[in-house]
A and B are shown apart, each in its own frame.
Chain A
Amino acid sequence: NAGVTQTPKFQVLKTGQSMTLQCAQDMNHNSMYWYRQDPGMGLRLIYYSASEGTTDKGEVPNGYNVSRLNKREFSLRLESAAPSQTSVYFCASSEGTATRPQHFGDGTRLSIL
């Protein structure tokens, strides 16, 4: 029962580098989300996908792009990493198409120097 799987778990980047965070869920959920978690800020929605083939911006989308590759996979890309993007990134999924995450992955801890 894997649930939501995120890779990698840790990553250190230099400013300006690019990388893609991977997320996959095995629950046949329709909706998937990317959040970032920063101290004193709670969780903030970056992008979400209500169904395969659709993506929409959340509250902090700048500097990120996403791809809903298929129903299982939802990736987050940083094209040119900045120190302000140092954070813990969580992927989540939910059965329906509303933006209420039910299951979260264990996160990717990303540091940008």
Chain B
Amino acid sequence: QQQVKQSPQSLIVQKGGISIINCAYENTAFDYFPWYQQFPGKGPALLIAIRPDVSEKKEGRFTISFNKSAKQFSLHIMDSQPGDSATYFCAASRSGGYQKVTFGIGTKLQVIP
């Protein structure tokens, strides 16, 4: 059972455009939602994270939007650049003590010039 559903699996965006990746979760106990960025041949890197007490978090060109009632969250990359081409994973976990992180299956983003 996939607890975090991520879409699309692949995405092609033109340079300067907005990249949007969506995730939906089932477990209402999740209260921490990180995004990871992975370049080819490298390990994932924590990019940005949000808790459900806010509806949006922005760091530079990266923004997480969170809709608690719909159990959905999304990553927006503004002014997408070729250097943003990577695989992006959303994830979810519960806070406090041992709580494993559940990852989405990943979205391969390609930003073309």
Q: With A and B bound together, what is the CA distance between A101 and B93 in angstroms?
A: 11
A100 touches B41 (CB 8 A): no
Known: A92-B43, A100-B32, A107-B43. A41 touches B105 (CB 8 A): yes
**Contact assessment for A99 and B43 in the assembled complex, using a CB-CB cutoff below 8 Å:** no
Q: Which of B6, B41, B93, B96 contacts A106 (CB 8 A)?
A: B41
Main SS at interface, chain A:
loop
Number of cross-chain contacts by CB at 8 Å:
56
Contact with B along A1-21 (1 / 0, CB 8 A): 000100000000000000000
**Contacts A42-B89, A42-B106, A43-B89; A99 near B44 (Cβ below 8 A):** no
CB of B43 within 8 A of CB of A90, answer yes
Distance in Å: Cβ of A87 to nearest Cβ of chain B: 14
Chain B facing A: main interface SS: loop
- Residues in B with CB closer than 8 Å to A44 are 103
Residue B101 is within 8 A (CB to CB) of chain A in the complex? yes
In the assembled complex, how far is the CB of residue A23 from the closest CB belonging to chain B, in whole angstroms?
11
Question: Chain B nearest CB: distance from A44 CB in Å?
Answer: 8
A97 and B99 alpha carbons, distance in the complex (Å): 10
Q: Does A104 contact B (CB under 8 A)?
A: yes
A44 to B45, alpha carbons, bound, how many Å?
15
Residues of A16-45 whose CB lies within 8 A of B: 40-45
Given the contacts A4-B43, A104-B45, A42 and B95 also touching, CB distance less than 8 Å: no
Size band of the B side of the interface? Answer: 20 to 34
> Which residues of chain B from 3 to 35 have any CB-CB distance to chain A below 8 Å in the complex?
4, 6, 32, 34
Tell which of A40, A41, A45, A97 touches B101, judged by Cβ atoms closer than 8 Å: A45
Give the chain B neighbours of A105 by CB distance below 8 A: 43
Q: Given contacts A42-B103, A58-B100, A99-B98, list 18 more A-B pairs with CB under 8 A.
A: A40-B105, A41-B105, A42-B4, A42-B104, A42-B105, A43-B103, A45-B100, A56-B98, A90-B44, A98-B96, A98-B98, A100-B101, A101-B44, A101-B46, A102-B46, A104-B43, A104-B45, A106-B42
A: residues with CB less than 8 A from B are: 4, 40-45, 48, 50, 56, 58-59, 90, 92, 97-107
